[in-house]
Amino acid sequence: MTDSIQEPKKRADYTEGSILVSILKMGVPSMIGFLAHHIYYMVDMFWLSRLAEGETAVAAVTIFSNISWVFFSFNSLIGAGSVAIVSRRYGEKNFDATETAIKEIFLLKWVIGMTMGLVGFLLIDNLVYIGGAREETLALGIEYGRIIFISMGFGYAVYSVYTAMRGVANPNMAMAIMIGSTFFNMILDPLLIFGYWGLPALGIRGAALASAISYTLTFIFGALIFYTGVTNVRLHLRGRIGMSIGTMLKIIKIGVPSWIGDMSYAGSRFIIMPLIAVFGNSVVASYGVGMQISSIGVSLLVGIGLGLSSLIGHNLGGGKKARAKSTANQAILLAIGIMIGLGIIIAAAARLIMGLYFDSPETIDYGVTMLRIFAIGFPFIGAFIMLEEIYIGVGLNTPAMIINIGNAWILQIPSIYILTRILDYDQNAVWWTMNVAMAISALILYWYYRRGQWLDVRV
């Protein structure tokens, strides 16, 4: 289709040349951006551990994080469909339709995010209590959560900026904005938590406010970038193709299975958290930090995977099925290799890492054991994440949804309850159960992937 409104320009095309180079060109910028974003959360935990409340503040944020996952899972309702639609339209070189899709996902994300934020704000007291928080931990979790919920619309929408940039083959731009947002957030964090430079010391509320400000300003900046024409697809106040309810419903329809899968996972974390909380604040705090450290690998692979999902969409949009399949196979092997290497490093440095956050030998020991158990399962996590991103790229999210539900509600929750409540095992049984469940899930999804139906999906 003729791109009559947008200025003629040479647009990036990663459906030619070396497959591995294409994966790295699309994936590495996203990986770096997501790693930088994740480092912020690690630094956030570090500053919170330095408050007078120490482990209690870390435990409060850990418990609230499991609640916020449930609310952020609605992000996938739009996110998964937006990846498939934007990347496929761009691969088809239908740039007017690509522009419209980007506008639609911005609008949908902000509206749904604000709606979910309002619901969370009204229910925050009960949610944090149900999540396992008590006394001071409960009060701190509520303080933190109220601010996060108020800003949730921009928290949703900012990820659409990154998704849209990757979808139109501008991964470096998405990376630059993510890194800039992270550094801005990291500067605000200590200023607002401890009250440096004449600012009031807000404690745990300062950490939440830093995130809220960063999300809001980053979304506004990223959206404006699209209107300047710097990106491969430019936005206009009035494009050639108008936004429509039908197209937006199509985006939502594609994303429903992914949302259900994410909701299932987030809901299971919400239920499992109280089962962990009974072991005390030291275990919860070490779990919170340990999850952040373990999630370094997840951030790396989600970053690569988001670039990969757009690349898969480009190839299928251009009618290159064989290249799409080869791209997927190489990405899976790359993910497994990265996670094996990272697992070895984290297992070896576990005590040093935990010592950066905590002084209590008991809390450090809990965290060290957890990290070393999780490291064993890293290769399976790597394979599962990459397979999931491949399906997101083609707009076929049902297989991963079914497996995510089985992982959470059949393999994990019943086993954790039986092991910790009936058989009286300690918290390590929780970590081992999560590992085994992920290994089984990854093997099942890989078996289904090998059947190859994903190559024929149309969106």
Res 194: pLDDT: 94
Confidence at residue 266, expressed as pLDDT on a 0 to 100 scale: 82
At 224, list the tokens: 């404006």
State pLDDT tens for residues 86-131. Answer: 888 888 889 999 999 999 999 999 999 999 999 999 999 999 999 8
Specify the residue for token string 């994440």: 385
pLDDT for 5: 42
The confidence score (pLDDT) of residue 1 equals: 40
The confidence score (pLDDT) of residue 6 equals 45
Q: Under 8 Å CB-to-CB from 307, ≥6 apart: which residues? A: 23, 25, 26, 27, 28, 29, 30, 31, 166, 171
Task: Quote the pLDDT of residue 414.
Answer: 96
Residue 159: CB partners within 8 Å, gap ≥ 6? 75, 79, 109
**What pLDDT does residue 143 have?**
96
Neighbour tally for 16: CB within 10 Å:
10
**Residues whose CB is less than 8 angstroms from the CB of residue 194 and which lie 6 or more positions away in sequence, other chains included:** 47, 201, 206
CB count, 10 Å around CB of 34? 26
Q: Are 338 and 297 in contact (CB under 8 A)?
A: yes
Q: Which residues of the chain have pLDDT under 70?
A: 1-15, 459
CA dihedral in degrees (114, 115, 116, 122; nearest 10)? 100
Residue 283 near residue 358, CB atoms below 8 Å: no
pLDDT in tens, 172-211: 898 899 889 989 998 999 999 999 988 899 999 999 999 9
Q: CA–CA distance from 34 to each of 10, 40, 173, 378 (Å)?
A: 27, 10, 13, 18
Would you tell me the crossing angle of helices 152-167 and 135-150 to the nearest 10 degrees?
60
